[in-house]
Chain A
Amino acid sequence: MSRAYRIAVTETLRRHVVVGDHVKSKLGLLDVLPPEEMAELLERRLLEAGFEKGEDGKMTRETDGVVVEIDLLEQTVAVRVEGEVNLDLTLEGVGRSVQKTDEKLEDQLRKQTKARLEEAAKKEAETARGKLTDRLEAALADIRPELDQLTNKVLGDALKQRAGQLGEIQEISEEENGSMTIRVKV
């Protein structure tokens, strides 16, 4: 009776992976004033809301790892979240051979084990990314209404400025629901 030898190989994967998620959209501001003037009004309101202006001219704010970035001239907003995963995985591949040492089987086992490691690494990175997506979704639930309010304020500022250009502002009344009435003497 021939013996069957147990052939085992061990493979390790150590990797540093950056995972992330993001969304991007337009702010949807009406062009009440020329783009540069709208950008100035937007910048003012964003500074009040805790944003900082970067060297590239974009306004950014980070809260708990969630970064909101606004392009003043393009009037776009991008929200992103990033994280890092340090992968340290070890897997064993086992086979049987009639020989005590079987190079061919070992090679095969190594290939298979490496492939399983890559799958496991991908799965772990995906799990980490999934958690970031959940965080991003939760953050968006707060960011969206905040941006809506902010853009409404910018629009109000722009309307007042425009009204002032048309004539003498007699009266401005703002309702709680966000609507505004401006009386201008032309």
Chain B
Amino acid sequence: MSGGEVVEVAESEHALLSIARAVVGELPPRAVSSVLLRKRKAIQQMDARSLDLLKQTLAIGVPLTLVRRGGFRRTRHVGDSGVVTEQRAFERNELSLHFGEETFRLLAHLVASDVSQAGLGGSKLVPTLGDQLVTYLAADVTRAVAAPRGARLTRSALCWFGHLRSVARTAPKSAPPLMPLVECPAVIESLSPDWATRWVACDRGKASVITCDDMIALGHTQQLLLESYFDAIDAAGRRDLARFFVQAVARLIKEDEDPLAWAGSLKLSKEPLSRRAEAYHAAATSYFMIERVARWATEAGAVHFIDDDYDQAQLFLSIWEEVGEEGLAVCRERVSALEDVHSA
């Protein structure tokens, strides 16, 4: 298709392409609110030209979105070859995204449904990383009309990082596989600043949680995600990808002085003490999950100059510096402050 050519598409295809454009940031979310709220006959397939337009939109728009969200920054990370470099995410690691049928099905669902009732829906298809990215970005767009929800959200590891509170409402028992995400570190490095901001917002949002069940579900979901994520990045030799979490905790230490505020809205009067204690423990999740990162920092500190992974260890220590031993002590105090309220 040459540049400047006007392509005529059907109304439903136009709706789908508009949503795709909003997903990649070419349109503001409010521009597609009416589309998202209206029910239509489901699209089963697209005209070849419309499909080409969709492919173009995603192929150019999704990487551009990653660049805008953080991929443009020069950061020090471990590259594909295991060497530490200061580069942009795409310069250091190859980005290879495939958008499968699941992406089309998601966009078709958003066109056909009233998203405020149907959410993001579900699917039996196994999403590729590209599909997960589209779901992650689409959930941000649908936030303009309703809190994101649906099975598509809960089975995407990427969406757990972006929409944790929504995922927590489903009280998941385990996290989805993290390795496919960790195997494409350019995505993680690009979204890292986004994740740090969302993590901080999620923890601060605990201040408005009313029931012990909701607080426990939220803390448990955070813990499931972090445990799986830490296992995956450790196995991949990429502990540096814990950066977003260290940055989030550093901000919380610096900016949020009263740990008890996070549990301030909990209605406790009819709850057993054991449940109250569980809820307060859940409120403190970030403050105790940082302990694993602290242990990695201790291990990094023991790596000698002549060891092969010295540069990686030094990189990790520089990341850890944002929290450091002082910050760790604050985290421990806050865990105690939250847990001692309902203890012996």
Using a Cβ–Cβ cut-off of 8 Å, how many residues does chain B contribute to the interface with A? 12
9 further A-B pairs in the complex, CB-CB below 8 A; given A79-B344, A133-B273, A147-B344: A21-B272, A23-B343, A23-B344, A24-B277, A25-B339, A25-B340, A25-B344, A68-B344, A144-B344
Provide the residues of chain B in CB contact with A53, threshold 8 Å: none
Contact B273 A21 (CB under 8 A): yes
Name which residue of chain A comes closest to B274, CB basis. A22
A129 at the interface (CB under 8 A from B): yes
Partner of A24, one of B270, B336, B344: B344
Tell me, yes or no, whether B342 is within 8 Å of chain A by CB.
yes
Chain A residues whose C-beta falls within 8 Å of the C-beta of B343 in the assembled complex: 23-25
CA distance A79 to B272 in the complex (A): 13
Q: Would B340 and A22 count as touching, CB distance under 8 A?
A: no
Residues of chain B in range 264-294 having any CB-CB distance to chain A below 8 Å: 270-274, 277
> Which of the listed residues B271, B274, B339, B344 has the most CB atoms from chain A within 10 Å of its own CB?
B344
Q: Is A65 an interface residue (CB 8 A)?
A: no
Instruction: Quote the shortest CB–CB distance from B280 to chain A (angstroms).
Output: 11
User: B residues touching A (Cβ–Cβ < 8 Å)?
Assistant: 270-274, 277, 336, 339-340, 342-344
Q: A130 on the interface (CB 8 Å rule)? A: yes
A78:B344 contact, CB within 8 angstroms:
yes
Across the interface, do A136 and B270 meet the contact criterion of CB distance under 8 Å? no
In the bound complex, what is the Cα–Cα distance between A144 and B342 (angstroms)? Answer: 11
Which residue of B is nearest A147, CB measured?
A: B344
Which residue of chain B has the shortest Cβ distance to A68 in the bound complex? B344
Number of A-B contacts (CB under 8 A): 37
The residue in chain B whose Cβ has the minimal distance to the Cβ of A137 is B273
Closest CB-CB distance, A124 to chain B, in whole Å? 14
Contacts of A28 in B (CB 8 A): 336
Q: How many Å from the CB of B268 to the closest CB on chain A?
A: 10
Q: Is A23 touching B277 in the complex (CB atoms < 8 A)? A: yes
* Residues of chain A at interface, number, CB under 8 A: 20
Q: How far is A143 from B344 in the complex, measured between Cα atoms in Å?
A: 7
Task: Give per-residue flags for A135-148: 1 if the beta carbon is below 8 A from chain B beta carbons, else 0.
Answer: 01100100110010
0/1 per residue, A2-25, Cβ < 8 Å to B?
000000000000000000011111
Query: Which residues of the other chain, A, contact B344 by a CB distance below 8 angstroms?
Result: 23-25, 68, 77-79, 140, 143-144, 147
Q: How far is the CB of A165 from chain B (nearest CB, A)?
A: 28
Chain A residues lying within 8 Å of B339, measured Cβ to Cβ, are: 25
Residues of A within 8 A of B336 (CB): 28
* Distance from B273 Cβ to chain A, minimum over Cβ atoms (Å): 5
- Report A59 CB to chain B, min CB distance, Å: 13
A4 to B273 Cα, complex, angstroms: 51
Given A23-B277, A24-B277, do A133 and B272 touch, yes or no (CB 8 Å)?
yes
Query: In whole angstroms, how far apart are the Cα atoms of A130 and B273 in the complex?
Result: 10
Contacts of A24 in B (CB 8 A): 277, 343-344
**Which of chain A's residues have a CB closer than 8 A to the CB of B272?**
21, 129, 133
Residues on the B chain within 8 Å of A25, using CB: 277, 339-340, 343-344
13 contacts between A and B (CB under 8 A): A21-B274, A22-B274, A23-B274, A23-B277, A23-B343, A25-B277, A25-B339, A133-B271, A133-B272, A137-B273, A140-B273, A140-B344, A147-B344
Residues B273 and A136 in contact, CB atoms below 8 Å apart: yes
* Alpha-carbon gap, A177 to B277, bound state (A): 30
